[in-house]
Amino acid sequence: MTGVSATQAPVAEHGGNGAVRTGRRIRQVRELGILLALVLLVAITTLTNPNFLSSQSVRDLLLGATLLTILAVGQSMVIITRNVDLSVGSTLGLSAFATGTLFVSLPALPIPVVALAGVLVGTVCGAVNGALVAAARVPALVVTLGTLYAFRGIGHWWAAGEQINAADMPDTFLGLGRVAVLNIPAPALIALAVVLTAGWYLGSYRSGRELYAVGSDPQAARLVGIPVDRRVFFPFVVNGSLAGLAGVLYAARFGTLDATVGTGLELEVVAAAVVGGVAIFGGSGTVYGAALGAMLLTTIGAALPMLRVDPFWQQAVVGLLIIVAIGLDRLLVLRAARRLRGGESRGA
Partner 1 sequence: MAPDVTTPPAGGTALPPRPAGQRSVLQRVLATRESSVIGALLVSILAASLLVDGFASGRNSGFLILDIAAIALIALPMTLVIVTGEIDLSVASTLGLTSAVMGQLWVIGLPLETIAVLCLVLGALLGAVNGLLVTVAGLPSLAVTIGTMAMYRGLAYVILGDQAVADFPFSWTGGATARLSGTPIPWIALLIIVLAVVFGLLLHATPFGRSLYAIGSNDEAARFSGIPVLRTKLVLFIASGTVASLAGVFWTLQYGSARADNAFGLELSVVAAVLLGGVSIFGGKGALLGVLGGVLLLGTIRNALQLADVSSDMLSIVTGTLLVVSVVLPNAIERVRARRRTAEPPS
Partner 2 sequence: MLRTRTHYGLTAATLAGLMLVTAACGGTTRGDADDSGGAEAAGEADPNAEIPEGLAISYLPKQLNNPYFTYANTGGEEAAEELKGEYKEVGPSEANASSQVSYINTLSQQGSDVIVIAANDPDAVCSSLQQAQQAGSVIVTYDSDTGKDCRDVFINQATAEDIATTQVEMIAEQIGGEGEIAFLSATPNATNQNAWLELMEEELAKDEYADIEVVDTVYGNDDDQKSFNEMQGLLQTHPDLKGVVSPTTVGLAAAARYLSSSDYKGDVTLTGLGTPNQMKEYVEDGTVEEFALWDPKNMAYLAGYAGASLSAGRITGAEGETFEAGRLGEYEVGADGEIVLGPPTVFNEDNIDDYDF
| Residues binding partner 1 (CB under 8 A) | 1-8, 82-84, 132-133, 136-143, 145-154, 156-157, 214, 218-219, 222, 228-229, 232, 259, 264, 267, 270-271, 274, 279-282, 310, 312-323, 326-327, 330
SS3 track for the chain: CHHHHHHCCCCCCCCCHHHHHHHHHHHHHHHHHHHHHHHHHHHHHHHHCHHHHCHHHHHHHHHHHHHHHHHHHHHHHHHHCCCCCCCHHHHHHHHHHHHHHHHHHCCCCCHHHHHHHHHHHHHHHHHHHHHHHHCCCCCHHHHHHHHHHHHHHHHHHHHCCCCECHHHCCHHHHHHHHCEECCEEHHHHHHHHHHHHHHHHHHHCHHHHHHHHHHHCHHHHHHCCCCHHHHHHHHHHHHHHHHHHHHHHHHHHHCCECCCCCCCHHHHHHHHHHHCCCCCCCCCCCHHHHHHHHHHHHHHHHHHHHCCCCCCHHHHHHHHHHHHHHHHHHHHHHHHHHHHHHCCCCCC
Please choose which of partner 2, partner 1, none residue 207 contacts, taking the beta carbon within 5 to 8 angstroms, the exact cut-off set by kind. none
Judged by CB, which is closer to partner 2: 54, or 172?
54
Nearest distance, CB of residue 95 and partner 2, angstroms: 16
Judged by CB, which is closer to partner 2: 22, or 101?
101
Give me the 269-308 binding string for partner 2, x by CB under 8 A, dash otherwise. Answer: --------------------------------xx--xx--
Please choose which of partner 1, partner 2, none residue 344 contacts, taking the beta carbon within 5 to 8 angstroms, the exact cut-off set by kind. none
10 binds partner 2 (CB under 8 A): no
Please choose which of partner 2, partner 1, none residue 151 contacts, taking the beta carbon within 5 to 8 angstroms, the exact cut-off set by kind. partner 1
Chain residues in the site for partner 2 (CB under 8 A): 49, 51-52, 54, 56-57, 60, 64, 152, 156, 159-163, 165-167, 175, 177-178, 254-256, 258-260, 263, 301-302, 305-306, 311
